[in-house]
Structure 1
Amino acid sequence: MKHIASLVTRFPILCLVLSLCLAAPFLIQLPRIQTVDNVDYFTVEGDPDVAFYQSIKDTFGEDEFFVIAFSSPELFTSPVLRMIAALTQELETIPEVREVQSLANVDYIHGEEEYFEVRPFLERIPEDAPGMAALREQALGNPLYVGNLVSADGETTALVVFPTAHEAGDGSFRKRLIKQTETVLAKHEELAGRFHLAGWTMTNFSLSQYMKSDVAVFIPVTYLFITLTIWLFFRNVRLTLLALANISVCTGTTMGCFPLLGITLNNVTTIVPPLVMALALADSVHIFAHLDKKLLGQVRSPAKAMEHILHRVITPCFLTSLTTAVGFASLAVSDIPPIKEFGYVASLGMIFEFLFSFMLLPPLMLMCRPDTIYTHQRKDIGMGAFLGRLSTVVQTHARPITIFITILILGALWAASTIRVETNLLEYFKPSSPLRQELSYIEPRLSGVGTVDISVKAGERDALRDPAKLAVIDRLQTFALTLPGVDRTMSFVDFLKDMNMSFHNEDPDFYVIPESRELVSQYLLLYDSDDMDEFITSEYDQARILIRISEHSSAGQAELIHALRAFIDQHEHDGLQIRVTGRAVQDVNTIDALVRGQVESLALAATVITFIMFLALRSFVAGALSLIPNAFPIIINFGIMGLLGIPLNTSTALISVVALGIAVDDTIHFLTEYNRKRAESLPMREALQRAILEKGTAICASSLILVIGFGVLLFSSFVPTMSFGGLSAVIMITAVVGDLIVLPAAMLSFDGKSE
């Protein structure tokens, strides 16, 4: 490492040119960075449930939908019904729309004794009050309509829009669909009032839009705060500009990897820019902290002074970059593509920030007049005085501090045991967000927009005409309706029961499964509508049960899915193959894979980083001691999560791995300096005091910078990103406490010589 320091100071122009040549191929890629208007990428690679769910969609059609709802006390009047009909027709002309279901085009089964006919529900819009009242009664008396197309009170109606199947690479599909839908709706707002839109299409698009708005905020805000921080600590314009130049090249080069690796900016990788900016600046701070005019006076050469500084910091900075890169790279074991991509790009960013901090920044500093960047650094005022008093307190009260920290850790471990593993997609958005308000409007009036599917497969053609097998489907639906969060179910059986009731002169007592296979076949011969196509195959050998849910918590969805599977396992099904599937199953599996992957990543990162620490510090004791300040912030973080009821979800699960890789950085700088002082034959107490005074300012400055880097994420519109930023910032603060208080106190306590 020291050869690099010598090379940079002897050939600064060459190193500067090489650095720019390294950065150029990546920087020219920046215009090619892509964002996507969806979050379809957030699935588990190789998950058999995902493959099975896709086969169901291939068989019955794409099940994605969104609901357009509006309310009116005059819903069943001629003007409003005509508007619904016009709106349905206009929406169906949108190229991205496969189908629209509404009161205007849904079929109605009208029956008499031993006969029924299928006709459009709005075949004719009545002009007189009695006719309109009869139409309203028909709508509210039809189980296929209530909760799906009309509310139970008859004042809210829904148009259910099914998008066409689209290529996975068409990232702007939903954006085009929603924009055209809003254009159509705008023409009818005068009569309908406000339209409310909710469903996976809207949720998916909203998630992607928040990501784009975050990118627009994160980078400029990070630049602003970092500039203020550098100025606050060093009060030097040139150092501030040099730091900004370094982090700009580091961040730009890292971002240039996105198009080269085929990675897009998404809700996870959008964290990379502020993170790399903060970490790149941390190494700059450790270099700046040694720009002492006393050193310049001793060596009388700017190049020699710079070489001395680089010799002193390059090894610990290399180790910090390496351990942080290992922390990020450990995320590559995840089965979730965006998590894996975040790990790849962030670890590359750590390589770039080390290279540019020592190959680009020093040559730029050597171009400045020494008196403009070197300062008189006094340890008896300001931060130096504070660190001196802190060291005295720690040395005087080492054992009480250690006892208090031990109690605090035990309490945090207890609180951590109460953490729930849960992701609530609804809570990803602030309560004031339009999406949450729309869901809060639609779901109580109609049905939930979440879905679980049950596949029912028979072994032979026409098997699902058998009433005994149809009874199995009916039994599953009846049980599903008893589960919390389930609002309604729909299947082929519901249509047959409606036909049977109509065939018996609309007698409600006959809203049951037809009693014979022959009667089922007769009904199907009379029924000439395609409304059942999404629930039964044309060979009548496979059926789909749709379950609409308003349960948005992954824990609640997991319980629902478990209950369905347990019910299926406990009952005979007349030879039918039954499997729970759907979007909720896919989401629950993603959460399980995420948590499992983070445990594996944390174990891998901890093992590799510990090994690196033992090798770097060349001491088993020092390596073991390094675990104390690194475990402390992570344990405290989980304790805070437990106390505040913050669940382990898609964002907070990332924190421990990222924090471990970053928190170890200052520990390396501190213990490296401590070992250097011990090598000079200083006793432990004095070596600790000198290490705190020598490295404390840089540790505090770099940690503050990281707090700012993570704190910028609090400006996000996306709640998981806010949680990640806030908790990570807390970890950076507790990491400083771990390095400057917990570690010295523990070392003195174990040494047995503290007072």
Structure 2
Amino acid sequence: MQTILTFGLRHRWITLIFLLLVTALTAPGLEKLRVDTSFDSLISDSDPTKVTYEAVKREFGSDNTTIVYVRSDDLWTEERLLDLEEMHYALEDLSFVEKVESLFNVRSIQDRNGMIQSSTVLDGVPFDREGIEEAKARALYSPLVVGNFISEDGFATAINVSVTKDPADPDFDRHAYQAIEAAIAPHAGSFDEVFQVGPPRVNHEHMVNLFADLSLLVPMSLGLLIAIIVLFLRSGMATVFPVLTSTLGLSWAFGLMGYLGVPINILSAMVPSLVIVIGSTEDTHMLSGYLSGLGQDGETESRSERRRRAVLYMMRHLGLPLILTSVTTVLGFAANGFAEMELVRDFAIAASLAIATNAVVTLLVIPLMLSVLGPLRSRLHDPETGDGGGEGTGLRGPVGWTLVAVRHIGTYPKTVIGVTIVVMAVCATFAGQTKVSNDPISYFKQEHPLVADVNTLADTLSGMEIFYINLVSTAPDAFGQPENLRKLAAIKDYIVEDGRFDTALSIADHLSMVNREFHGGDPGMMVVPDTPDLVDQYLLFFQRADLESYVSADFRRVNMVVRHNIHESHALKQAVADLESRVNEIAGPDLTINIVGQNLMINNAAEDLIFAQVQSVGLLLVVIFIMMSLVYTSLTGGLLSLVPNVIPIAIVFGVMGLFDIPLNPGTATVAVIAIGIAIDDTIHLLSTYAQESRRTPDRALAIRRTLAHQAIPAVSTSIALMAGFLVLQGSTFAIIAQFGLLAAIAMIAALVADLIVTPVLMSFVRLVGLDEILMLQIDPKVIDNSPLFADMNRYQVRKAILLSEIVSFKAGDRLVQQGTVGRDMYLVLSGSVAVIKDGPGGGTELATFGQGEVLGEVGFVREQQRTANVDAVSDGEMLVFNAETVRRNMRLYPHIANKLNLNIARILGDRLADTSTRLTRADIS
């Protein structure tokens, strides 16, 4: 592994050529990169209503409707109506327009002195005041026109433009928006207010604001990040690394996205900021490790040798954590790839590619740069307070103060665990109240002009959102029969009474209007006709174009068009569920009911977010558990790594439920991303703890040293991440701002968990890294010849050794003092020692022990005074097994503990037998 990690250090020119070559190869892909803000990416691939929706749309027309809103205090004047007419025909001339409906072609039926008059509200523009007033009266008289095409006060009107989308044009929505805007722009100045709302504008606003976010958020993230890292690391190199690594990594990632056909969407707008912020965490850890390496011996070395030694120190201590954190972060993003929604899947691919390429660039570039331009002294550590192994922190400033507070809190482990459990329980309670949302309008902040226009339309006329209630019968001419038409009327009555939807129109409304006029305009007769003959008669007042959106030619299928302004998925889902239940009751078993619409499919996908979130989080936690269990060769190690990463998830969902922040495509990614990022500090903490545990059997001291080593990168990266995510509050998209807020909360929660909860849990375990086991160099003779390791394989032997303490000694050192009390057992790894018993006549050498031999086994089993001294005969190393330490450490490895205890018993038995033999010989002699 070290060979790979130090490649940039050992092969500078090859590394530089490789970086330039990959950059050159991925650059052409940037030209192929496209932007996708279409509604199609918001719909689940497995939506069961999709096929039915397409069939209904083919028969009754598209629900992809743009509404042009026009308001003027002098709307009913010849000049304004001429402008309105020209606008109508200009929109009709657009090639992608399927149908235009306005006051100029919507039908009005009215009883005029006993004669039923059927005509459009405006059959051209009247040229006298009387004609205009009559047209206004017709518009305000018709219940089918008011609320749909004219406001109740008569000053606002709507032109409904149904659009047929060109699937071959990836930029259709932008082109449609611009074409509609060009058609209405010449006349906009004639009115007080003119705007369009509908899918083309929504998608256009998505794209415009996406690029606005990119131009604003990326520089802000980069500037803030650099400032924070420089503040904490106090090194000018900190300004270079994030810029260089993120620029290269992003260019590679976006180039690959271009080749793979993965588009940029509104979530992908976060990717540059995420890469800058997340990628910098490893930059910070590496620079911090390098600066720590400068603090080692070597003041007399040349500049290049000092840099090289510091880089090697950095990679030796950070190699495995760097690989693990990169993998887990990529997995955190990639786990979102299981979502049914294309928007989230594309974001998962984009973010995973970007983080992966950034990791490769970081591992190659930073060792190379530090070996050439790295600083030669560290300003982080206070030489007067040491490395944090004692009572001092060894750190200056805010990080030092933080570490003092953390250590103090850590002296109350029961309180820490108790508070953690309470917080988790409270958050879990509120998390259950979290709602889901996937409405495109809700993606924007409330103060956005589009949201204001949508609300203006809804307040004055009806909401812009449309869905269909489709009823199907197998009987011929089914909806020419009054009983079925009454069912449509009953559905309309429910919708009006319920009040959650704005308007609903069907063929029943058209026939009811004619029936009313045949009864002198009596409002009480606004009901469907009583007989099939009357139905046939009333239909004569309409042209086929008037009814084609509401009934099939054979009258077996009808379509009710419902408009609303509900932009909260949970509320819409509940309203539609209630509607569907009531419609089924009204329709009965003879009619098939389908409630469909693009807007409904988009909101239905919100429910998939919950499943995708649970699936992604669950998968990532399982992968991390397995990976960390393997790395630390213990299931407990795997569980330990999960705890500080589950805490931020619980807090995030608790905050969402408490403050009514919905689970949407933005916030749905927070949990897995938070895990992928938060595991970074956890891995570094556990890896450092495993290393420090090799230096001392005192777990408390190992934890203090671990915190001293990891405080600066943990605190600095967490604050940088928090600040970087808070930058997203500047986004024009509400879902991205919400993501930024929740991610920032998750980062602080993860920091608290890592610095307070994790050390408390670490105090109960002793971890051994797989890399330590594999890299431990042991003379095979020790394993083969030592009775302590009998019947143990080399892996188990290495693990047993790493769970103890290795002590080096020099010739002449006294290793054990006669008369002292201790429970240590010793195994000679190299060199030799002599057992010497003090007596009145001086010291008597009782025995000499060499490689693989054991001594002190009696004291290990039972505490007692040492009966002799142990002195080093030559330089060497020995393994120290403390009874209490071994007991605690081996709890996680009972199989090894059993073998070790059995071998100790055998050694004691052999020694006892040997002693008995010698005593017997002495008695005989």
TM-score, normalised to structure 1, is 0.93
> Which residue does 1:156 correspond to in 2?
156
Is the 8 Å Cα contact of residues 387 and 692 (structure 1) preserved in structure 2? no
Q: Distance in 1 between matches of 2:597 and 2:128?
A: 44
Is the 8 Å Cα contact of residues 250 and 277 (structure 1) preserved in structure 2?
no
Provide the rounded CA distance (Å) in 1 between the counterparts of 2:130 and 2:359: 80
CA shift digits 1:151-185 (9 cap, x unpaired):
1222222222222x122352332323333333343
**3-state DSSP of counterpart to 1:108:** strand
What does residue range 201-240 of structure 1 map to in structure 2 within 5 Å? Answer: 201-240=200-239
Distance in 2, Cα, partners of 1:605 & 1:75: 60
Cα distance change on mapping 1:685 and 1:99 into 2, 3 Å:
same
Q: 1:392 to 1:189 in 2, by over 3 A?
A: closer
Corresponding letter in the other structure for 1:295: Q
- The corresponding residue for 2:270 is 271
C-alpha distance in 1 between matches for 2:277 and 2:162? 44
Deviations 1:452-486 (A, max 9, x none): 21111122543322222222222222222222321
Distance verdict in 2 for CA 1:328–1:127, change over 3 Å:
closer
**Which residue does the alignment assign to 2:16?**
16
Q: Which amino acid aligns with 1:621?
A: T
What residue identity is the alignment partner of 1:521?
D
With 347-356 and 628-637 compared, the bigger mean Cα shift is at: 347-356
1:590 and 2:605 aligned: yes
1:727-754 Cα deviation digits (max 9, x unpaired): 101111111111111222344489999x
Distance 1:387 1:664 in 2: 20
Match of 2:421 among 395, 406, 409: 406
Measured in 2, the distance between the counterparts of 1:530 and 1:261 equals: 45
* 1:642 counterpart (645, 657, 665): 657
The equivalent residue for 1:70 is 70
Q: Does the 8 A contact of 2:629 with 2:637 survive in 1? A: yes
Aligned to 2:240: 241
Task: Please report how far the alpha carbon of residue 60 of structure 1 lies from its aligned counterpart in structure 2 after TM superposition.
Answer: 1.2
Q: Partner of 1:361 in structure 2? A: 366
In the alignment, the residues of structure 1 paired with residue 760 and residue 424 of structure 2 have an alpha-carbon distance, to the nearest angstrom, of 15
Shift of 1:719: 0.5
Kindly tell me: are residues 166 and 296 of structure 1, through their superposed partners in 2, closer, same or farther at Cα, counting changes over 3 Å? Answer: farther
Q: Is structure 2 residue 309 aligned with structure 1 residue 294?
A: no
* Alpha-carbon distance in structure 2 between the residues aligned to 1:299 and 1:40: 65
- Are 1:86 and 2:86 counterparts? yes
User: What is the one-letter code of the residue matched to 2:489?
Assistant: D
Give the stretch that moved more between structures: 473-482 or 653-662.
473-482
Structure 1 pair 296–231 and aligned structure 2 pair: CA distance change class (3 A): farther
Matches within 5 A, 1:330-349: 330-349=335-354
Asked if 1:610 corresponds to 2:610, the answer is no
Counterparts of 2:92 and 2:457 in 1: how far apart (Å)? Answer: 22
DSSP-derived class of the 2:240 partner? helix
- SS of the counterpart of 2:197? strand
What does the per-residue CA deviation read over 1:432-469, in whole Å, with 9 as the maximum and x for residues that have no partner?
21112212222122111112211111225433222222
Correspondence for 2:573: 558
Q: Over aligned residue pairs, what C-alpha RMSD do you find?
A: 2.7
Find 1:386's aligned residue among 401, 404, 407: 401
Which sits farther off after the overlay, 170-179 or 582-591?
A: 170-179
- Return the alpha-carbon distance in structure 1 between the equivalents of residues 361 and 441 of structure 2: 42
| 8 A contact 2:380–2:395 mirrored in 1 | no
Aligned mates of 1:282, 1:577 — CA distance in 2? 57
Offset at residue 547 of structure 1 (A): 0.9
Larger RCO (CA within 8 A; separation ≥ 6): 1
1:681 aligns with 2:696: yes
CA contact (8 A) 2:39 2:602 kept: no
Equivalent pairs counted in the alignment come to 751
Tell me the distance in 1 between the aligned counterparts of 2:697 and 2:399: 20
Q: Residues 388 and 121 (structure 1 numbering): CA distance in 2 closer, same or farther, change over 3 Å?
A: closer
CA distance in 2, matches of 1:27, 1:90: 43
* Corresponding residue SS for 1:158: strand
- What residue number does 2:59 align with? 59
Residues 567 and 365 of structure 1: is their aligned pair in 2 closer, same or farther, counting only changes over 3 Å?
Answer: same
Provide the rounded CA distance (Å) in 2 between the counterparts of 1:611 and 1:124. Answer: 74
Range moving further from structure 2, 605-614 or 249-258: 249-258
Contact in 1 for aligned 2:410/2:756 (Cα 8 Å): no
Moved more, 29-38 or 122-131: 122-131
- Match in the other structure for 1:145: 145
8 Å contact kept, 1:104–1:121: yes
Amino acid at match of 2:474: G
Query: Does the 8 A contact of 2:410 with 2:416 survive in 1?
Result: no
Q: Which moved more, 1:270-279 or 1:666-675?
A: 270-279
708-717 or 394-403: which moved more? 394-403
Tell which deviates more after alignment, 84-93 or 171-180.
Answer: 171-180
Secondary structure of 2:358's match? helix
Is the 1:6–1:307 Cα contact (8 Å) retained in structure 2?
yes
Check whether the contact 1:402–1:749 (CA below 8 A) recurs between aligned residues. Answer: no
Call closer, same or farther: CA 1:289–1:497 in 2, change over 3 Å. same
* Separation in structure 1 between the aligned mates of residue 471 and residue 744 of structure 2, nearest angstrom: 49
Q: Assess, with a 3 A threshold, how the Cα gap between structure 1 residues 191 and 5 changes in structure 2: closer, same or farther.
A: closer
Partner amino acid, structure 1, of 2:680: D
The structure that has the greater radius of gyration is 2
Confirm or deny that 1:328 pairs with 2:339: no
TM-score of the superposed pair, with normalisation by structure 2: 0.77
Give the whole-Å Cα distance in 2 for the aligned partners of 1:603 and 1:416: 16
Structure 1 residue 351 displacement after superposition: 2.6
Q: Which residues in structure 2 correspond to 1:150-549 (within 5 Å)?
A: 150-163=150-163, 165-292=164-291, 293-295=294-296, 297=298, 300=301, 301=305, 302-368=307-373, 370-371=374-375, 377-378=381-382, 379-382=394-397, 385-423=400-438, 425-503=440-518, 506=521, 508-549=523-564
Cα deviation 1:310-362 (Å, max 9, x = unaligned): 12111011011111122222212211112112222322333323322222321
Contact 1:601-1:657 within 8 A present in 2 as well: yes
Residues 59/593 of structure 1: CA separation in 2 closer, same or farther (3 Å cut): same
Secondary structure of 1:535's match? coil
**Percent pairwise identity:** 26
CA contact (8 A) 1:398 1:749 kept: no
Aligned-pair CA distance for 1:130: 4.8
Measured at CA, do residues 523 and 296 of structure 1 come closer, stay the same or move farther in structure 2, by a change above 3 Å?
farther
Deviation at 1:413, TM superposition (A): 2.3
**What is aligned with 1:43?**
43
Distance (whole Å) between structure 2 residues aligned to residue 507 and residue 570 of structure 1: 29
Equivalent pair of 1:625/1:743 in contact (CA under 8 Å): yes
Q: Give the direction of change, closer, same or farther, for the CA distance of 1:244–1:190 in structure 2 (3 Å limit).
A: closer
Name the structure where helix makes up a greater proportion of residues: 1
